[in-house]
């Protein structure tokens, strides 16, 4: 697929495949600009769901076929990931809940798989999507978009963070009760009734900053990384050494971002479970 300029190339690779419902039926991409609130990013949804199903399939299959003798390579790898997450949960989460460890494992592996899509060559999947659109549906390849790193979509990172935020509220109310949670928001850090408005503002900002920081941290790091890969791809024939160097560095960054998201989730839920 030919592009008229570097700007057009970058814009094409950073645009989500959108689908929305209009009066005329289903619409795609730019026709969704005036569709209102409900616009589906079908590339983000499809890739994230497929990766989630891969995670469930592999871990469930290993769990069903696990042996007590010498484990195979896949079982040893799954056990290594499980023990790593379990150790972090035990050392960080100070409450009692059977949900936290499975939740932490799901977050870590799922976010890691979505992050690893950043290592796929930037032109591969958009080109395949363009060919499918051209020969399968008669579309102009320039109007076929496919942004294949789900965590570069702020809608997905905010959805994950909002899920964590709902759990924070749930455990706060469960462990402290409505009265205890209200007191936590109004009587800290200054324990005097005259400071209730100030306390409420400070604690509300702290509470709301948790999902906001979770979402923006993951999105910002992955979006910047993908943008750098795209910029390297615009160099042409001289991109291979730079691409390899950035990919090697990123092998460390991608698991780190998944680990940070998991650990902050555990910390926030541990704070929510503390009964003062």
Does the active-site annotation cover 16? Answer: no
Distance CA 92, CA 82 (A): 15
Q: In what order do the strands lie in the sheet with 40-41?
A: 25-28, 18-22, 40-41
Distance CA 112, CA 209 (A): 23
Compute the residue count for the chain: 276
Does the active-site annotation cover 221? Answer: yes
Joined together, the tokens standing for residue 245 give 């160097």
Q: Given 21, 29, 155, 217, which residue is catalytic?
A: 217
Does the active-site annotation cover 210? Answer: no
Q: Given 16, 221, 225, 270, which residue is catalytic?
A: 221
Q: Given 33, 65, 204, 213, which residue is catalytic?
A: 213
261 contact partners, CB below 8 Å, separation of at least 6 = 107, 108, 111, 160, 214, 217, 218
- How would DSSP label each residue in 79-140? HHHHHHHHHHHHHH--S--SSHHHHHHHHHHHHHHHHHGGGS-TTHHHHHHHHHHHHHH---
Positions marked active-site? 213, 217, 221
């Amino acid at each position: 697929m030919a592009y008229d300029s570097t700007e057009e190339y970058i814009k094409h690779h950073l645009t989500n495949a959108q689908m929305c419902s209009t009066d005329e039926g289903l619409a795609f991409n730019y026709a969704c600009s005036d569709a209102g609130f409900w616009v589906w990013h079908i590339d983000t949804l499809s890739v994230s769901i497929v990766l989630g199903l891969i995670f469930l399939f592999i871990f469930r299959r290993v769990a069903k076929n696990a042996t007590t003798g010498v484990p195979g390579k896949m079982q040893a790898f799954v056990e290594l990931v499980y023990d790593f997450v379990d150790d972090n949960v035990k050392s960080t989460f100070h409450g009692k809940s059977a949900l936290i460890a499975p939740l932490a494992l799901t977050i870590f592996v799922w976010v890691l798989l979505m992050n690893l899509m950043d290592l796929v060559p930037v032109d591969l999947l958009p080109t395949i999507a363009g060919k499918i659109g051209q020969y399968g549906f008669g579309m102009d390849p320039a109007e076929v978009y496919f942004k294949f790193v789900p965590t570069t979509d702020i809608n997905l990172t905010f959805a994950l963070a909002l899920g964590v935020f709902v759990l924070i509220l749930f455990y706060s109310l469960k462990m402290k009760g409505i009265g205890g949670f209200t007191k936590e928001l109004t009587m800290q850090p200054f324990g005097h009734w005259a400071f209730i408005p100030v306390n409420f503002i400070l604690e509300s900002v702290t509470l709301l900053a948790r999902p906001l920081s979770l979402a923006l941290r993951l999105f910002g790091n992955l979006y910047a990384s993908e943008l750098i890969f795209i910029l390297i791809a615009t160099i042409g024939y001289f991109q291979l050494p730079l691409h390899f160097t950035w990919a090697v560095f990123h092998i460390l960054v991608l698991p780190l971002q998944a680990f940070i998201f998991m650990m902050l989730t555990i910390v926030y839920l541990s704070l929510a479970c503390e009964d003062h």
